[in-house]
Structure 1
Amino acid sequence: MDMRKLVGRNFARLRREKGLTQEQVEERSGFSQQYLSSLERGKRNPTVITLYELAQALGVGHVELVGPDGDES
């Protein structure tokens, strides 16, 4: 799987598990809702720093954004 899509799927899953909207993550992280939406669709190539900041906003470890998402076949 493409790394951008994996990160996007993991981010969307973790965000939903935390019960957060994109708008709430925007408030916590400073990244726009448009950026978060395109990230979730696998259209963004986030830097390591961005991954760390997004993980902080979700309250998870940054490794959770890049690890296998459980849907790998």
Structure 2
Amino acid sequence: MNAYDYDNSCRITGNLPGLYHYGVGKHLTVTAEGGGKFSGYDYDEGCLFNMTVSGTSALIYDYGDGNYFRYST
């Protein structure tokens, strides 16, 4: 997988479940739950997150912030 974090101007690469965020120099784990749902752990923030992907959008609930974030391509 190759992704780009425009907020931090850096790449995120790897193969699920292990990804590496070059901007913060930390790993992420992302596990597919099926039906466009994913769960994961952000080692930079030290917290869990859930993600739902639909079409070109992703809705992420960040347990550390207690907020939802929406991203699209």
Give the TM-score taking structure 1 as reference length.
0.26
The answer to which structure has the higher helix fraction is: 1
The answer to which structure has the higher strand fraction is: 2
Give the TM-score taking structure 2 as reference length.
0.26
The higher radius of gyration belongs to 2
Give the structure, 1 or 2, with the largest relative contact order (CA under 8 Å, sep 6 or more): 1
